[in-house]
Amino acid sequence: RATEPVVGPERTVDGFAKAFLDELNFEAGVALKRSTTTDQYLALARTIRGYLMADWLRTAERRRQNPTKMVGYLSAEYLLGRQMGNSLLATDLGDIAEQAMTSLGLDFNLLRAQEIEPGLGNGGLGRLAACFIDSLASMDVPSIGYGIRYEYGIFRQTFEEGRQVEVPDAWLSLGAPWEFPHPDRAVQVNFGGTTEQYIDGDGRTRPRWLPAWNVQGIPYHYMVPGYQNGVVNTLRLWSARATQEFDLEIFNSGDYAEAVRAQTFAENISKVLYPEDSTPQGRELRLQQQYFFVACSLKDFIDRTLEEDFDLTRLDERIIFQLNDTHPVIAIPEMMRLLMDEHDMEWAAAWEVTSKCFAYTCHTLLPEALEVWPVELMTRLLPRHMEIIYRINEEFLDTVREAFPGDELRVRRMSVIQEHPERAVRMANLATVAGVKVNGVAALHSELLRDKLLPDFAALWPNKFTNVTNGVTPRRFIRLANQQLSTLITDTIGPGWETDLERLRELEPYADDAAFTESFRQVKQANKDRLRSILSQRDGIELPEHAMLDVMVKRLHEYKRQTLKLLHIVSMYDDITSGRVRREDVVPRTFVFGAKAAPGYFMAKEIIFLINSVAKTIAQDPRVTDLMAVAFPANYNVTLANKLIPAADLSEQISLAGKEASGTGNMKFALNGALTIGTDDGANVEIRELVGDENFFLFGMLEPEVAALADRGYTPSSFYESNPALKRAIDLLASGHFTGGDRSLAAPVVDDLLYKDRFMALADFQSYLDAQARVDAAYRDVDGWTRSAVLNVARSGFFSSDRSMRDYLDRIWMPKS
């Protein structure tokens, strides 16, 4: 069959306007005169995607004609952010689209503002997945992203009397113009039941799974456009439906209500994103989600994407699945099951190829964040997979015993099955046993992963461990978020840096160029002005015009130490109100927080309440309002990040050393010309190395010092007793001054700091305060600060996710040797 000649609509203002009216009139069935803003937004979105369609079909066809090894990115989360701006950028249709809307009397920016971002992720890990698929498309790497189409993404955060209240994120409620449902390509996924042995046609005894129930996975396709390169890759997200079989059986029994209930039960699987980003709760539905999307994805790849009749013993020549944390690790026994039970392969052959098809990325070091699934649950939900896991473990432990005879303690530590406090499957161990490579997400993290988290595995397989430092996409986080900076860069070094970010180095000489630095300052000020107007409209927050913008945005977690930031704010407030510093010596600051707390994380929610309490008290105290302001806009998300980051002067990256695997916000800030105040943690280490010590405010204990202090025994109260500034700040917080005189409202956070302080905020307090004093001094020197900011931009090109993808390709996916 001949390939149809695929062409998109005409790339002119009239062509665009016509395509838009066609969408509105003939697809939606609405007249322009009668249309709502939502109608217009939907038609605009569909018009833009129409321009990507030809490239999408062409990319898919090109890949089919020339089958090569692909990357399958398996991730339970994709924090995509709004699609419209990115699609306009990819197609370079921004101006045409705007003029076309104007020609029809429509407000382009109002329409763009209608889009609800798909928040199908919690934070760093989900946003990383979105950056990676952007880079893979921009680099024309044959690849496919697989994940879950949650009906409800990360909750919308609101504040009621300063406390976080979660509202469901009904992101699909306006309609979903960016997705392509394919109910015709549904896949069946089985659950539960038992296993048995049977004799096959050749007289061989074989195991077989007799599942108890099943659901369907409906794929929804999303376009992943490369940056102005004619490439459009696919993100395939799965949505759960009841199977007809399941429905009919119950329906025929005459119980209509039960049939409907069963349907609801099945559809629950992809209903909602779990909003925890560090403490897995071991919930059955969460395991169902994980197996659901992984089973759909492997089946999709083998049955639909791979060439027909491809020899599965050579599967590794066609695919490498990258496991985004342990969430998709159940793919490993699933692959074994598919190869053996559905494709007749023997164990040894199946293991031989399976152990070449997966690689594992770890995103944490916190022990409580490592996923384990109770054997009881696993056996009940996935009995065949449990058998396979046991066998993988048996053979693995034989290898360990061979390499380390008589070392049964080591065997227990390395086992895929943990015995205490309950029998459970250690997903990180399983991933490490089966993976071709195991990587951490920043140099320091990869080192600690190898030497502290998985040292026994490193002793057995030193070459399995590698590092790939995270990165972020410069398309969304510079070009889209910071148009003015982008124009200045292009005017200075010419085009092309968006896909070759090391070229930002060419800006270095301009750090001392008066005209350039003046423009650079103007860009920063314009971004601040825009942010002030957005926060005013969005949250009713009024910010002062001229002040250093000091920003801490990230999930709320104790290890990230939002409380340390709060202690600095309280200390500054106390210095001013007590007259300890002269007003004219104060550098005015606006502090901005953005953070969601996991709904069940008590301490995180108390910290949010306390930040809001301090913000309110400061706003109402005329002694300080000209010198400090604290803003905590609710519902920090990708859309707000794009407005906030370009406006920032100071980036707060203050986790306890050794706890933040990488951070990616830190990279976005540096690339947008904010200076970092940070600990020697995660990718901060590499940022500092690259931008230079003079352009980075380092503070706090180093990781080995943290470990040594923990070994000696850490007593936070001794820091409180011996440091007057710290004592004053804590006493003032505890006094009820910020909580309407009610001491009990501050007590949960204050008492934890004084008596536990698991992440040693008090130990780093003085060092943090000293660093903040250096920040003030540096900020007073306007030229010096601008110079540092320019050098941060010029020297951060390494943090493009294109470079991360190159590293994955070279070290993991397509190594030369």
Residues that bind ligand 26M (CB under 6 A): 122-125, 128, 274, 276-278, 280, 286, 363-364, 371, 441, 470, 660-664, 682
Alpha-carbon gap, residue 360 to 432, rounded angstroms: 7
Distance in Å, CB of 472 to ligand 26M, minimum: 10
Given the complex with ligand 26M, which of 122 and 792 has the nearer CB atom?
122
DSSP structural state of residue 147 = E
- Cβ(168)–Cβ(186) under 8 Å? no
Tell which residue, 654, 556, 574, has the closest CA to residue 610.
556
Given the complex with ligand 26M, which of 30 and 148 has the nearer CB atom?
148
Measured CA to CA in angstroms, residue 758 lies from 58, 501, 655, 706 at distances of 54, 39, 12, 11
Torsion angle of C-alpha atoms 188, 192, 193, 199, degrees rounded to 10? 60
- Cβ(302)–Cβ(354) under 8 Å? no
Given the complex with ligand 26M, which of 363 and 565 has the nearer CB atom?
363
Alpha-carbon gap, residue 122 to 141, rounded angstroms: 26
Distance in Å, CB of 519 to ligand 26M, minimum: 32
Given the complex with ligand 26M, which of 599 and 784 has the nearer CB atom?
599
3-state secondary structure of 416: coil
Distance in Å, CB of 469 to ligand 26M, minimum: 10
Phi, psi of 190, rounded to the nearest 5 degrees? -100, 155
Given the complex with ligand 26M, which of 286 and 521 has the nearer CB atom?
286
Characterize the bridge pairing of strands 319-324 and 70-74.
parallel
159: β partners:
164
Alpha-carbon gap, residue 407 to 611, rounded angstroms: 51
**Which tokens sit at 302?**
């083998």
Alpha-carbon gap, residue 599 to 28, rounded angstroms: 38
Distance in Å, CB of 121 to ligand 26M, minimum: 7
Given the complex with ligand 26M, which of 128 and 615 has the nearer CB atom?
128
H or E element at residue 215: strand 213-225
Given the complex with ligand 26M, which of 72 and 682 has the nearer CB atom?
682
Q: Which residue has the tokens 């022990």?
A: 367
CB crowding 64-86: b at 16 or more within 10 Å, else e? eeeeeebbbbbbbbbbbbbbbbb
Distance in Å, CB of 420 to ligand 26M, minimum: 21
Q: Which residue has the tokens 């050749």?
A: 202
- Cβ(598)–Cβ(279) under 8 Å? yes
Given the complex with ligand 26M, which of 535 and 667 has the nearer CB atom?
667
Distance in Å, CB of 470 to ligand 26M, minimum: 5
426: β partners:
372
H or E element at residue 267: helix 256-267
Q: What is the largest CA-CA distance in the chain?
A: 91
Tell which residue, 162, 134, 18, has the closest CA to residue 73.
134
**Which tokens sit at 712?**
């000696």
Count of beta carbons in the 10 Å neighbourhood of residue 244 = 11
Distance in Å, CB of 72 to ligand 26M, minimum: 18
Torsion angle of C-alpha atoms 654, 658, 661, 666, degrees rounded to 10? 20
Q: Within 268-382, where are the H helices? A: 284-300, 331-337, 347-354, 375-381
Distance in Å, CB of 363 to ligand 26M, minimum: 4
Distance in Å, CB of 659 to ligand 26M, minimum: 9
Given the complex with ligand 26M, which of 50 and 119 has the nearer CB atom?
119
Question: What Rg, from alpha-carbon coordinates, does the chain have?
Answer: 27
Given the complex with ligand 26M, which of 364 and 796 has the nearer CB atom?
364
Characterize the bridge pairing of strands 205-210 and 194-199.
antiparallel
- Cβ(606)–Cβ(764) under 8 Å? no
Which residues participate in catalysis according to the annotation?
363, 554-555, 560, 664, 668
Distance in Å, CB of 32 to ligand 26M, minimum: 43
- Cβ(730)–Cβ(751) under 8 Å? no
Distance in Å, CB of 557 to ligand 26M, minimum: 8
The residues near 103 (Cβ < 8 Å, ≥ 6 apart) are 13, 14, 17
Torsion angle of C-alpha atoms 203, 209, 212, 216, degrees rounded to 10? -110
Given the complex with ligand 26M, which of 278 and 571 has the nearer CB atom?
278
Characterize the bridge pairing of strands 417-418 and 424-426.
antiparallel
Given the complex with ligand 26M, which of 445 and 524 has the nearer CB atom?
445
